[in-house]
Chains A and B, each alone.
Chain A
Amino acid sequence: GAGVSQSPSNKVTEKGKDVELRCDPISGHTALYWYRQSLGQGLEFLIYFQGNSAPDKSGLPSDRFSAERTGGSVSTLTIQRTQQEDSAVYLCASSFSGRDYNEQFFGPGTRLTVL
């Protein structure tokens, strides 16, 4: 596609349920990032994938969060046993490579609300 796409755009769930958020990066981009955007908190780095290398999971806030990237393309962020503090906008971004000088292209985000 022309840009990064994410689905669903909105997700409302009950506390304790699991959710899966999907990201389709721009074709040919080898680097993929997940961020969490909370009100007044800026963008919080969650996880980074580069090609077939092992991901950098250092930003995941707890072991309830996990992510995978299949075939170097589509990525899924999974949150198990959701809590109210997980409510946020989850953003995915991709770039041509993972180097620091590359522009990141962002998707529209998934707004997660945990009741």
Chain B
Amino acid sequence: AQSVSQHNHHVILSEAASLELGCNYSYGGTVNLFWYVQYPGQHLQLLLKYFSGDPLVKGIKGFEAEFIKSKFSFNLRKPSVQWSDTAEYFCAVGFSGTYKYIFGTGTRLKVLA
């Protein structure tokens, strides 16, 4: 069955630390990959997405993610986090030819000033 795993449920970092949040999925076919972010009191919004081409994608606010097909992974990275990055981050996978998305359980990131 298709599934999405986010291994880090809670992450606490100091400002300027580097961030990497893991996302793995299980599916043998073509996928489209997303990271969404939910800042405190705000809607879920798209951070970045991968459909095809360069497996390293860049999103808003200095975030990037790399699709490694052999590892079924789409990890989110940021070289230097800011206090304003405190939020919950969700990985989502869309399965080719369908409309269904599966979301991970989310990672709560807290950045200490």
Question: Which A residues form the contact surface with B (CB < 8 A)?
Answer: 3-4, 31, 33, 35, 40-43, 45, 48, 50, 56, 91, 93, 98-101, 103-104, 106-109
Q: Name the distance in Å between A47's Cβ and chain B's nearest Cβ.
A: 11
CB of B99 within 8 A of CB of A43, answer no
* Total of A-B residue pairs, C-beta within 8 Å: 56
CB of B99 within 8 A of CB of A107, answer no
CB of B103 within 8 A of CB of A43, answer yes
A41 contact set on B, CB distance < 8 A:
105
Rounded to whole angstroms, the CA-CA distance of A48 and B36 in the bound complex is 19
* Given A101-B32, A103-B49: A48 in contact with B105 (beta carbons within 8 A): no
CB of A104 within 8 A of CB of B101, answer yes
B34 contact set on A, CB distance < 8 A:
103
CB of B104 within 8 A of CB of A42, answer yes
Question: Whose C-beta in chain B lies nearest to the C-beta of A93?
Answer: B44
Contact digits for B27-53, partner A, Cβ 8 Å, 1 yes 0 no: 000011010100000111110010100
CB of A42 within 8 A of CB of B32, answer no
* Given A43-B90, A101-B51, A101-B94: A106 in contact with B43 (beta carbons within 8 A): yes
Among A4, A45, A93, contact of B100 (Cβ-Cβ < 8 Å): A45
A91 contact set on B, CB distance < 8 A:
44
Most B CB atoms within 10 A — which of A99, A104, A107? Answer: A104
Give me 21 A-to-B residue pairs in the complex whose CB atoms sit less than 8 angstroms apart, sorted by A's number: A31-B99, A35-B103, A40-B9, A41-B105, A42-B103, A42-B104, A42-B106, A43-B90, A45-B100, A56-B100, A99-B99, A100-B32, A100-B96, A100-B97, A100-B98, A100-B99, A100-B101, A101-B32, A101-B94, A103-B34, A104-B101
Q: Name the distance in Å between B91's Cβ and chain A's nearest Cβ.
A: 9
CB of A100 within 8 A of CB of B106, answer no
Further contacts, 18 of them, CB under 8 A, given A4-B43, A42-B104, A100-B99: A40-B105, A42-B90, A42-B103, A42-B106, A48-B100, A50-B99, A91-B44, A100-B95, A100-B96, A100-B97, A101-B32, A101-B94, A103-B46, A104-B46, A104-B101, A106-B36, A106-B44, A108-B42
Rounded to whole angstroms, the CA-CA distance of A52 and B75 in the bound complex is 37
